[in-house]
Amino acid sequence: MKNKTVFFILFAGIIIFGFIFLIYGIHKNNSAKDTINLNKLSPIGQINKQASRLRLSEKPSHPPSFKLAVASMMSPVANIDAYKPFARYIGRALHMPVKIVQKRTYLAVNNLLINNKIDLAFICTGAYVYGGLKNKVKIIAVPVIDGRKTYQAYIIAHKPSKIKSIKDLKGKVFAFTEPLSNTGYEYPMHFFKNKGINPKIYFKRVMFTYNHTDSIKAVASGLADGASIDSIVYSYTYDKYKSVRLHTKIILKSPLFPIPPIVMPDRVNKRLRSKVKEILLDMSRNPKGRIILKKLNIDGFASPDISQYK
């Protein structure tokens, strides 16, 4: 009986000791989880650097951009200044930023259109007709200026001179704009050909200014005796610059041509093309739009008659 009692006491002791050991182990493990190991912490500066590296490695998301090209109808600086409000207006309506791309020549703008580098462009009629764009772009609208959708070539001369006709320009200096310009090259060359005039022989010297405004200024300053220029640009500079009014005169006006169009590349999806056309056609009915158009000397935009551009 005594042996059984001793065995029971030992067995109970073992059970109690094991239970106490188990409770201690659980408590120690939980304490370890709640304990901060100071040796394993990173300095705050190091954590900030790591966070910065993570932020820098992330690529920021940019909204889609829309590129507007303007051919060199006026001086480069005048173009950018004149078209910035127009670009912002289009951008707000499309809910995307609009970037202005300006090139010195019509050919450069044509290349951007053909290679799908731009989305919308103001181009010359000649650049469309003679520049290989007919199957590459869509004319979406045309500007209306002074109630008309037409324009002309003006052959101008230095006002203080006695030049009154093309005959009087023989042996003088003549300025063309550029080879793809309808009013600044194609028309006068056609006119000269019909008159049996070879410009290289007829004139003392010919030059290319690559800018209608520069051609006008060349005549006003006496650098050139005559030039063939865009009637729209001439009207703009005539109103703006006193020197143009005092020192230039028109000696010949061409027949009327369809006005320089606004185009978009074929690859632009139809929905966007329709949206841009809608914005342009509605612009004159919008109070803010009318203010911008007035600064561009444009009444508004109209749907084109494609048959006129052949």
pLDDT tens, 173-209? 999 999 999 999 999 999 999 999 999 999 999 999 9
Q: Is the pLDDT of residue 234 over 80?
A: yes
pLDDT for position 150: 96
Average confidence (pLDDT) over 69-98:
84
Per-residue pLDDT band at 70 (split at 50, 70, 90): confident
What residues contact 74, with CB distance under 8 A and at least 6 apart? 82, 211, 212, 213, 233, 236, 237
Do 304 and 142 form a contact (C-beta atoms < 8 A)?
Answer: yes
Q: What is the pLDDT of residue 74?
A: 59
* Confidence category of residue 25, pLDDT binned at 50, 70, 90: low
Average pLDDT value over all residues in the chain: 84
Strongest mean pLDDT among 19-28, 132-141, 165-174:
165-174
pLDDT for the residue 80:
78
The answer to whether 238 and 244 have CB atoms below 8 angstroms apart is yes
**Out of 13-27, 82-96, 273-287, least confident range:** 13-27
pLDDT at 153 over 50: yes
Identify the pLDDT of residue 40.
47
- What is the C-alpha separation between 114 and 129, in angstroms, rounded? 14
Q: From CA 77, how far away is CA 93, in angstroms rounded? A: 25
CA angle 110, 116, 119 (to 5 degrees): 85
- CATH 3.40.190.10 positions along the chain are 66-146+260-308, 153-255
Do 72 and 210 touch, CB atoms closer than 8 A? yes
Identify the CATH class of 66-146+260-308.
alpha beta
The pLDDT, as a whole number, for residue 190 is 97
Q: How confident is the model at residue 26 (pLDDT cuts 50, 70, 90)?
A: very low
Which one of 1-10, 66-75, 153-162 scores highest in mean pLDDT? Answer: 153-162
Q: pLDDT at residue 27 above 60?
A: no
Task: Say if CB 176 and CB 191 are below 8 A apart.
Answer: no
| pTM score, whole prediction | 0.76
Helix (H) or strand (E) holding 301: strand 300-302
pLDDT at residue number 208: 96
Please indicate whether residue 216 or residue 73 has the higher confidence score (pLDDT): 216
Would the pLDDT of 211 be above 50? yes
pLDDT at 63 over 60: no
pLDDT greater than 50 at residue 117: yes
Confidence tier at 5 by pLDDT (50, 70, 90): low
Class of domain 153-255: alpha beta
pLDDT value of position 39:
47
> With 80 as the cut, is the pLDDT of residue 34 above it?
no
**Element containing residue 126 per DSSP (H, E):** helix 125-130
pLDDT on residue 61: 45
- For 216-225, letters b (16+ CB in 10 Å) and e give bbbbbeebbb
Confidence band of 58 (pLDDT split at 50, 70, 90): very low
Mean pLDDT across the stretch 84-108? Answer: 93
